[in-house]
Amino acid sequence: MEEYTHGHQAGDGQAYHEVSGLQESRLIDEFLKPIPGETILDIGCGTGHATLKVASLVGESGRVVGVDPGESRIDVARAELLRQPSLVPIVTYMKGSVKEAMPLAPFDAVFSNDVFHWFERADRQAIVTDIYKCLKPAGRLAIYLLTPQTQAKCLGVDAFHLSKPTSDIESASGIKFDPPAVWSHILTEAGFLVEVCEEKDEEVKAPNIEAALTGLEIYVPKFKIHRQLLRDSDIEI
């Protein structure tokens, strides 16, 4: 098993939780499509917005595992879970990433919202290969990630303007932007079949400047976000 780092370390969990919301419901409703009773892994669960939604969809016969390397995000996620007692038996949160979740495999499905672009390039193939190993035969993977168009389409929002050339965004933000073809290759190498690969043209804004400065990663209010959606299915029988 190849070793890899956790890469990007997330900022404060509580501040992030307060300014973020369920960032992506389409990923869950239209692509992941959780089925009651399923066991599902949420990679980079943050403070658990999506994890709890998926937990409510798999129901009491299902199980959802959320992993995130950000300790304070997992702390907030656990506290939020306690506010919904009916979901407590369904959800397990763990600090870490895919490797830490592997002992709880196999999963019917894995999903990840706005996380893959944080993976170190050198680690990606090993991470995706571990995800593949975590899935049951015919298991599925649904992800959103940021693509390079983000760098090209810059947007001044309220007080925000680009202060650096677009070529510096990657080093300033820590995000690793790569085009759809790169990700398709990595996923295919791991054994996945790409069923759907869509690009979205979506603007993401922080609610106000304080929210942007205290909680969200710096890139969020500044740029028009294009995302690529991948949903893969392993058709081994």
Ligand X SMILES: C[S@@+](CC[C@H](N)C(=O)[O-])C[C@H]1O[C@@H](n2cnc3c(N)ncnc32)[C@H](O)[C@@H]1O
23 is a contact residue toward ligand X (CB under 6 A)? yes
Stretch that binds ligand X, among 38-46, 57-65, 86-94, 133-141 (CB under 6 A): 38-46
Q: How far is the CB of 64 from ligand X (least distance, A)?
A: 13
Cβ closest to ligand X, residue 21 vs residue 165 = 21
Pattern 53-82, ligand X, x by CB under 6 A: ---------------xxx--x---------
Q: How far is the CB of 194 from ligand X (least distance, A)?
A: 21
Q: Sign of the CA dihedral 28, 148, 74, 132?
A: positive
> Taking CB under 6 A as the rule, does residue 34 contact ligand X?
no
Cα 85 to Cα 143: distance, rounded to the nearest angstrom? 28
What is the rounded CA–CA span in Å between residue 46 and residue 170? 21
Q: Does residue 44 bind ligand X (CB under 6 A)?
A: yes
Residues with Cβ within 8 Å of residue 161, at least 6 apart in sequence: none
Which residue reads 């609610």 in tokens?
207
Residue 147 is a binding residue for ligand X (CB under 6 A): no
If one asks whether residue 45 binds ligand X (CB under 6 A), the answer comes out as yes
Closer of 74 and 157 to ligand X (Cβ):
74
Residue 17 CB, nearest distance to ligand X (Å)? 9
Q: 3-state DSSP call for residue 17?
A: helix
Contact 47, 16 (CB under 8 A): yes
Q: Give min distance, CB of 7 to ligand X, in A.
A: 4
Rank residues 110 and 157 by Cβ distance to ligand X and give the closer one.
110
- Say if CB 128 and CB 190 are below 8 A apart: yes
- End-to-end CA distance of the chain, in Å? 24
- Give whichever of 61 and 65 is closer to ligand X, judged by the CB atom: 65
Q: Which two tokens stand for residue 39?
A: 């066991």
Among the listed residues 39, 72, 92, 113, the single contact to ligand X using CB under 6 A: 113
- Strands in 107-113's sheet, in edge-to-edge order, are 91-95, 63-68, 39-43, 107-113, 135-146, 224-233, 193-203
- Residue nearest ligand X (C-beta atom): 46
Binding site residues, ligand X, CB under 6 A: 6-8, 10, 20, 23, 43-46, 49-50, 68-70, 73, 97, 113-115, 118-119
